[in-house]
Structure 1
Amino acid sequence: MTIALGTPDTEGLGPAADALRDWQAEGAPMQLHPGDLGWYGRTGPRATAEAVRTWSRAGRILAVGLLDGPGLIRLTTAPDARRDEELARRLADDIALPAHGVLPQGRAAVEAPQDALVREVLGERGWGIDEPWTPLRRDLTGPVPAPDLAIEVAGPGLAHQVAAVHRSAFQGSRFTAAGWRAMAAGPLFTDARCLLGRDERGDAVATVTVWSAGPGRPGLLEPMGVHRDHRRRGHGRAITLAAAAALRELGASSALVCTPGSNTGGVAAYLSAGFERRPEIHDRFRPA
């Protein structure tokens, strides 16, 4: 049967997110998580829907992609469709041809599970290997140590402080309190917690948002950041421990995070909070 490419409306985001939840499982490769759609929700529901692509056959969603920035699509597939050749070639065609409305002309990158056949098809078409990313995982079957930091669950009244810490932590960030409120108003935030860490003086020094995919499934940290004026004091470890504890309370089986391989400070913070490094992963990219 024909595979159909689609862009959902705001109501159609629900089935795409449900598919992503169903595909999260222990032992699966690092892949697009419903929390990635939830974090993108800071742009508002309409913009989020416009950034999503789905590929379906006979009414069943087989793949979901998120246009996460200029020239980047992050996608994953149903586990039983990871090596489906018809799907892989359709994905590659839609990704490679700007007229199909997925990626623009010029340099482009694709994040997909490392065992997905579409990566091999793109490689056959000349797409190269991009810079490494480091996935990390922490098991949540046991208790999580208490963080050495005062932790608050952020609500709308703390949105401006969360946004300020985020902008300080991530160079070039334009995250605002309005963006936080848009994210928190989205349906995916019902499975999320945003945390704000304060030091002994009461200053907001770190923040993290965690996203559950449902009980017994891996949860995601996206994003975690420490204010630039308060680094190298253990706050990254502390807020990460708080994140892991929050996901455990939400029923997650493990906590996942992925960061650029060059982010040595971030990797060190995750390792110190009990995360284990997994094999590096790479996007596929097409040169400009």
Structure 2
Amino acid sequence: MTTVSLSVPQAAELPEIGAVLDSWQSDSGPLHLHTGDLGWYSLRGAQPTAQALRVWRFGEHIAAIGLLDGEDLLRLSIDPDLSDDDTLAQQIESDVIAASTAVFGPGAAVLEARGAIRLCDRLQARGWDADEPWTTMSRDLSLPVEDPGIRVEIAESDDAEVWTAIHWSAFRGVPYTADDRQRFVERWNEMMSGPFYSQAQSLLGYDDSGLPVAATTVWSAGPDRPGLIEPLAVDRDQQGHGYGKAIAFAAARSLQRLGSSSAAVATPSANTAAVAAYTSAGYVPGAEVRDLRRDG
């Protein structure tokens, strides 16, 4: 019997891992860990991204890929053909619950494992509980997408300060200091030159006066597969004017040009404003999903 092994990859392996993860994306399957998630994480650089990954293999075959998005959150994708495989589920379970540094240390932990049917069953039997609900949303790109109604440009490296300032405003809501700006711009350029960005586009949206008000990055998984929006932001001072809906249209159009079958995004269900903005832009909510949580 072929055993399951766990490894931490090197940066040179990231293109192969990305290609495998691309092949697992399907409109008929769950919105699980996407290559775009690795791309956004690669703000930190290729080697730190590789060190945050956990790869399970059957022999030479990659069977599951996990991203440690922080010390206590593992975002996992499993080969769809192995979602109900008990041997794989048992080994991942063992690695996840072990009081070692292989995946989690002791204490609280969260596992995002949409589609890993057998693994989730096993962990729930061990007492892992449902975490906060998320809403996954998708827009079919086989039909034309509406014009966003604002000017939208593809962001290049020269636009790093503008793009990052919008993101900072939307998600941090605190002053964007010179040190913050330098660090975030360097990281954004690191992402743009990284191993996953060849199938991505960053966009900037402008109001009628030419002021940049919204930003997003979209990630293709290749032709006829769902693409991912990660992230999407509207400047905090410009919210409430429909720019979120507009940039969501623009994101869908960008992914459509890249050949994606659909545009996908996930947001906490508690973020009702985001859910409403995507819904107004033609994104259809799916069933709520919940990660699994182990309390400390």
1:248 aligns with 2:248: no
Check whether the contact 2:29–2:115 (CA below 8 A) recurs between aligned residues.
Answer: no
Question: Which residue in 2 is equivalent to 1:137?
Answer: 138
1:207 aligns with 2:215: yes
Q: Distance in 2 between matches of 1:93 and 1:14?
A: 28
Q: Distance in 2 between matches of 1:150 and 1:275?
A: 21
1:109-150 CA distances to partner (integer Å, 9 max, x unpaired)?
Answer: 000114521111111111110000000000000111111111
Check whether the contact 1:94–1:100 (CA below 8 A) recurs between aligned residues.
Answer: no
1:3-57 CA distances to partner (integer Å, 9 max, x unpaired)?
Answer: 1101110011122111111101121011111110011010001110001110001
Q: Distance in 1 between matches of 2:113 and 2:173?
A: 26
In the TM superposition, residue 266 of structure 1 has moved relative to its aligned partner by 0.3
Amino acid at match of 2:47: R
Question: Which residue in 1 is equivalent to 2:45?
Answer: 44
Question: Which residue in 2 is equivalent to 1:234?
Answer: 242
SS at match of 2:11: coil
User: What is the aligned counterpart of 2:273 among 258, 265, 273?
Assistant: 265
Count of residues in correspondence between the two structures? 288
1:189 aligns with 2:190: no
1:105 aligns with 2:106: yes
Identity across the alignment (%): 43
Amino acid at match of 1:251: G
Amino acid at match of 1:278: G
Deviating 4+ runs (over 2 angstroms) = 171-175
Amino acid at match of 1:98: A
SS at match of 1:187: coil
In the TM superposition, residue 171 of structure 1 has moved relative to its aligned partner by 2.4
Q: Distance in 1 between matches of 2:41 and 2:275?
A: 23
Q: Distance in 1 between matches of 2:155 and 2:215?
A: 9
Amino acid at match of 2:155: A
Question: Which residue in 2 is equivalent to 1:20?
Answer: 21
1:89 aligns with 2:97: no
Question: Which residue in 2 is equivalent to 1:216?
Answer: 224
In the TM superposition, residue 256 of structure 1 has moved relative to its aligned partner by 0.3
> Residues 260 and 253 of structure 1: is their aligned pair in 2 closer, same or farther, counting only changes over 3 Å?
same
Q: Unpaired runs of 5+ in structure 1? A: none
Amino acid at match of 1:221: I
SS at match of 2:270: coil
In the TM superposition, residue 104 of structure 1 has moved relative to its aligned partner by 2.2
Length-normalised TM-score, structure 1: 0.97
Q: Distance in 1 between matches of 2:70 and 2:291?
A: 14
In the TM superposition, residue 100 of structure 1 has moved relative to its aligned partner by 4.8
1:156 aligns with 2:164: no
* CA-based RMSD: 1.2
Q: Distance in 2 between matches of 1:114 and 1:286?
A: 19
Check whether the contact 2:46–2:195 (CA below 8 A) recurs between aligned residues.
Answer: no
Amino acid at match of 1:185: S
